[in-house]
Each structure stands twice: as C-alpha cells, then as structure tokens.
C-alpha cells in the first residue's frame, strides 16, 4: 500500500505492507535510525516520535496510520549548527550515558516544554513516566529538561 508521510519536513512516498510498524518504516525504509527500537511492547519509549502534534510510541503505530500525517524524529530536533535547548540540556547535565533512551526522552521533553515552558521536576517526571532509562536513574534527565526550560525554553 502506498503511504505518503512527511518526516522532519520532507515528504516520503513508500509502498509498504499494512503490517509494517512506523518505527521500522523510519529506520529501515527511510534510514532514520535516530529513533530506537526497544521493547516492542509500548513500555520502554525508546521509539517515541511525534505523530502530528503529539509524541507516540512508534512500535505500536502502523506506518499506514501515518499516511498523510507529519512525523518528527530526533533528526528533526534542532539543526547541525544550532542545537535545540533540550539537546543542549542533555549535554550540559549529562542527561544520558548509553544514549538508547535519549531520542525518545528529548522528543517528549520538547513536547512538554512547548505546552508547559516552566515545568516542575514532578511534571517532568510525569511526562517521561512512560519511558525507561537504565543508566541515569532519571535524575540527570530531569535536570536536563529543567535546564532547557531555563535556557531557551521553547527553542
């Protein structure tokens, strides 16, 4: 089935099986490997991307469901010359170690800050509560998001 998806502002047309998951369209068909493929059960949040206006777990969305919609992946955050404040926050506050959860965490952080430019630590924790990090104990991720809120906010 033919799908037309706009990813990070660029339109892609691909012929896919209806059963293809969005995460595999992004990684395997479009070569956008910034989104990570983790638990496959919508628990870990490594595959979080934006579908239209909100982050979703792309292991639990079919690529055909994204037909005619906008997707944003971590590759669409900031640019090669200017990092998004969220990316800067993760760098400043050591918000990652292995990096596996990071793309999903940053996309959720950007969504949170767009809606709530000055969140409390508890609100950050709530926002990322569907995403698992096995390195940081979350502490530095929360610091990174709060840093971004104070230093650039909506980016």
Partner 1 sequence: MQVPAQVEYEKATSVRHALTLLARYGSAARVLAGGHSLIPMMKLRLAQPEVLIDINGITDLCYVNLTGAQLRIGTLTRHAQLLESQIAGEHFAILHDAERVIADPIVRNWGTVGGSLCQADPSEDLSAAFAAMKATMVIQGPDGSREVSAREFHTGPYETVVGPAELLTEIKLPIRPGGGSGYQKVSRRTGDWPVGAAGAAVWLSGDTIADAGIGLTAVGATHFAAAEAEEYLRDRTATEQTLARAGDIAAENCRPVTDQRGPADYKRHLARELTTRALRLAVARARGQAA
The site for partner 1 (CB under 8 A) is made up of 1, 17-21, 24, 40-42, 45, 48, 51, 54-57, 60-62, 64-65, 67, 108, 126-127, 129-131
Q: Judge residue 122's burial from the number of C-beta atoms within 10 Å of its C-beta, 0-12 exposed, 13-18 middle, 19 or more buried.
A: exposed
Tokens at 83, concatenated: 């990092």
Residue 143 CB, shortest distance to partner 1, in Å, is 20
β-pairing, 48-51 vs 54-57, is: antiparallel
- Closer by beta carbon to partner 1, 43 or else 92: 43
Residue 89 CB, shortest distance to partner 1, in Å, is 19
> What are the start-end ranges of the E strands in 16-130?
48-51, 54-57, 70-72
- Closer by beta carbon to partner 1, 94 or else 125: 125
């Amino acid at each position: 089935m033919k799908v037309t998806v706009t990813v990070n502002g660029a339109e892609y047309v691909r012929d896919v099986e209806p059963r293809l998951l969005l995460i595999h369209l992004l990684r395997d068909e479009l070569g956008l490997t910034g989104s990570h493929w983790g638990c496959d059960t919508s628990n870990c949040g490594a595959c979080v991307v934006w579908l239209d206006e909100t982050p979703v777990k792309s292991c639990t969305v079919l690529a055909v469901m994204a037909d005619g919609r906008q997707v944003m992946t971590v590759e669409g955050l900031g640019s090669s010359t200017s990092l998004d404040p969220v990316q800067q926050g993760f760098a400043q506050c050591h918000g990652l170690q292995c990096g596996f959860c990071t793309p999903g965490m940053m996309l959720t952080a950007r969504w949170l800050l767009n809606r709530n430019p000055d969140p409390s630590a508890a609100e950050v924790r709530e926002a990322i509560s569907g995403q698992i990090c096995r390195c940081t104990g979350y502490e530095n991720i929360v610091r990174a998001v709060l840093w971004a809120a104070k230093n650039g906010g909506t980016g």
